[in-house]
Amino acid sequence: MSVLAGAPANRDLGAPGTGLAVSARGVVRTFGDRAVLRGVDVELRPGEFVALLGRSGSGKTTFLRALAGLDRQVEGDIFVPAARSVVFQDPRLLPWATVLDNVVLGLAGGRRAAAAAGRAALAEVGLTGHEDDWPKTLSGGEAQRAALARALVRQPALLLLDEPFGALDALTRIRMHALVQQLHAHHAPAVLLVTHDVDEAILLADRALVLTDGAISLDVRVEVASPRLRRDPAFVDLRSRLLAELGVDEAAEGARALDGQASPPTHRDAPDPSPDRPSTDHPRTRSSR
Ligand SMILES: Nc1ncnc2c1ncn2[C@@H]1O[C@H](COP(=O)(O)OP(=O)(O)OP(=O)(O)O)[C@@H](O)[C@H]1O
Ligand SMILES: [Mg+2]
């Protein structure tokens, strides 16, 4: 494997000479005798927002960890920018540090400069006034915004998001979508968003990928006019195409949604093509370096 940290002269380019922020070729990851990734090829241009969909256990987190540089046993050619940040479904804030300290932890530069940058990042995610709070006093959405601030303060050229809204209620999720769009417009990192939610992918991404049997089985541009509305025929068509690629029977899903009218709105508003998925935070994948 060769992981080449982005050239210092151009922090946005992971693959110098190509104009690409990410170039991953022939990525293979095997656990025991099980090949989870069998040759994944993915490219991201600087500033491009790409959603990665796939059934539970298809290897999305495994691939994201490979791009993050968190897995040394992955094979293939991976070029990513040196400046990259990851946000997981679990905000992973240190309970013994304040919100501000969590955001600036390990940040290069002097303490005062780091604190100023941290405060600015917290302001961007709407958490001014929470700097000195303890993480356990934050709501789920606030904690996830703090995790976003921690990612952004590092000015990433590549932002890796692993189901960052998966644990949030439907309303908070909608607010987080707007925030991520705003932050992306302002900072323009390349983004790889892992999600189970097809609608979320269409709402946010420039391009959607589907991971099937260890390889990218579909790579499609999201061509839906802004503002992207779920009732737009282009939205509906793309949703059908992505659900079909994921092996989801739309008719059955629709019938189930109707049957479940009394169920909580999160379930209906955020259809999950893999409702039986196990927790993403598998103990074996939690370690970070
Ligand atoms: N460290 C590990 N050791 C052994 N198997 C692993 C390890 N990490 C992941 N796996 C296995 O690899 C497969 C892919 O896992 P991964 O977490 O990448 O899936 P995923 O697509 O992110 O799933 P989900 O949508 O449920 O989060 C799973 O079968 C998982 O059990
Ligand atoms: Mg996962």
Q: Which two tokens stand for residue 172?
A: 């908070």
Amino acid at 286: R
Residue 30 Cβ < 6 Å to ligand 1: no
Query: Which residues is 23 bridged to in the sheet?
Result: 43, 79
Quick one: which atom of ligand 1 is closest to the CA of 282? 17
CATH of the domain at 9: 3.40.50.300
Q: Which two tokens stand for residue 46?
A: 């600087």
Amino acid at 194: V
Residue 219 Cβ < 6 Å to ligand 1: no
Residue 273 Cβ < 6 Å to ligand 1: no
Q: Which two tokens stand for residue 68?
A: 């993050």
* Helix/strand/coil (H/E/C) assignment for every residue in the chain: CEEEECCCCCCCCCECCCCECEEEEEEEEEECCEEEEEEEEEEECCCCEEEEEECCCCCHHHHHHHHHCCCCCCEEEEEECCCEEEECCCCCCCCCCCHHHHHHCCCCCCHHHHHHHHHHHHHHCCCCCCCCCCHHHCCHHHHHHHHHHHHHCCCCCEEEEECCCCCCCHHHHHHHHHHHHHHHHHHCCEEEEECCCHHHHHHHCCEEEEEECCEEEEEEECCCCCCCCCCCHHHHHHHHHHHHHCCCCHHHHHHHHHHCCCCCHHHHHCCCCCCCCCCCCCHHHCCCC
Q: Which domain holds residue 28?
A: 2-285
* Structural domain count, the chain: 1
pTM (2 d.p.): 0.86
Output the residue whose Cα is nearest ligand 1's atom 4: 31
Residue 278 Cβ < 6 Å to ligand 1: yes
Q: Tens digit of pLDDT per residue, the chain (289 long)?
A: 546 554 444 556 777 788 999 999 999 999 999 999 999 999 999 999 999 999 999 999 999 999 999 999 999 999 999 999 999 999 999 999 999 999 999 898 899 999 999 999 999 999 999 999 999 999 999 999 999 999 999 999 999 999 999 889 999 999 999 999 999 999 999 999 999 999 999 999 999 999 999 999 999 999 999 999 999 999 999 999 999 999 998 877 766 666 654 433 333 333 333 333 333 333 332 222 2
